Amino acid sequence: MTPAPRPQPLPPRQARSVLTYQRILNAATAILAERGWDAFTIDAVGQAADVSVGNIYRRFGDKDGLFTAVHTAHLERMRAAGRQAFAPEAWPDLPPQDGVAETVRRLGRQFQDHAPLDGVLILHSNKVSGLGEEGALFVSERRSMVEQMLFHYYGPDTTVRVMVCYRLAFATFMDFGTFNVHPTQQPEMTWETLIEEVAHACVRYLFASEAPMNRAGSLTP
C-alpha cells in the first residue's frame, strides 16, 4: 500500500510570522542549492536564517516538512515561469524553424535558471512520501505546454516527431542540470552552448529536408 502523502506545513498569516517563515524557507533553499543535501540540516538552516531550531520545528515539524515546503515553493516558481514562457499568449510571431528553436531555448533556460536546486530536489524527492508524484505532475504539465508550442510552429499532425524533439531536449537539459557535478572538467560546455546545440539539433531533426540553422541559432540563407 502506498503511504499517504505527508501534510504540508501551512504558511502563517500574521505579517511578522510570515517574514520569519519566508526567511527560514529562503535559508533552506539557499543551503540546498549552494551546498547540497548533506549540508541541509535544521541547525544549519537556523543559523543561516537567524532563528532558533525550536522555531523551525514548530513551523515545519521536522527536516522532511521543511524539505517539503522548499520543494512545493520551488514547483510553484517553476509553474509561474512555465506559464510566462509557454502560454499561447507568449508565443512569438516567428517562422517555423525559428519558433522551434526559441521553444527549445526557453525550455533550456528554465533548467538553467533553476539549477542546481532543481537537481538536488529531483535526486532527493524520494526521501519524502508524495514529493515524487508532485514533481511528476509538474513535469507532465510542462511537457504539455512545451509540446503545444512546438505543435504551433511545426504542425499538429506530427505527434511522434514533436514528442521525440521534446524528450531529446528535456533529457539533455535534465542530465546537465542534475548530474553535472564537476563542470570544471568540461569548461567548454556551458548552459549557453548546450542550449544552442540542442536547439540546433531539434531544428535539424524536425526540418531535415529544409534549410539548416547555423550555430548562432539563425537560419542560413
For position 152, which CATH number holds?
A: 1.10.357
Distances, alpha carbon 155 to alpha carbons 62, 100, 151, 195, 203, in Å? 49, 11, 5, 23, 13
- 37 in a structural domain: no
User: What is the predicted pLDDT for the residue at 146?
Assistant: 97
- 155 in a structural domain: yes
Q: What is the pLDDT of residues 26-65, one digit of tens each?
A: 999 999 999 999 999 999 999 999 999 999 999 999 999 9
User: What is the predicted pLDDT for the residue at 1?
Assistant: 44
Structural domain count of the chain: 1
Q: How many Å apart are CA 59 and CA 54, to the nearest integer?
A: 9
189: cell is 560546455
- 5 in a structural domain: no
- 213 in a structural domain: no
User: What is the predicted pLDDT for the residue at 87?
Assistant: 96
Task: Round to the nearest angstrom and report the end-to-end CA distance of the chain.
Answer: 60
Provide CB contacts within 8 A for 213, sequence distance 6+: 97, 101, 199, 200, 203, 204, 219, 220
- 102 in a structural domain: yes
User: What is the predicted pLDDT for the residue at 61?
Assistant: 94
Domain that holds residue 179: 67-206
Q: Pick out the chain residues at pLDDT < 50.
A: 1-4, 182, 211, 215-217, 219, 221
- 86 in a structural domain: yes
- 126 in a structural domain: yes
Q: What is the pLDDT of residues 121-139, one digit of tens each?
A: 999 999 999 999 999 999 9
Record the pTM. 0.83
User: What is the predicted pLDDT for the residue at 183?
Assistant: 52
111: cell is 533548467
- In the block, cell 540540516 appears at 41
User: What is the predicted pLDDT for the residue at 78?
Assistant: 95
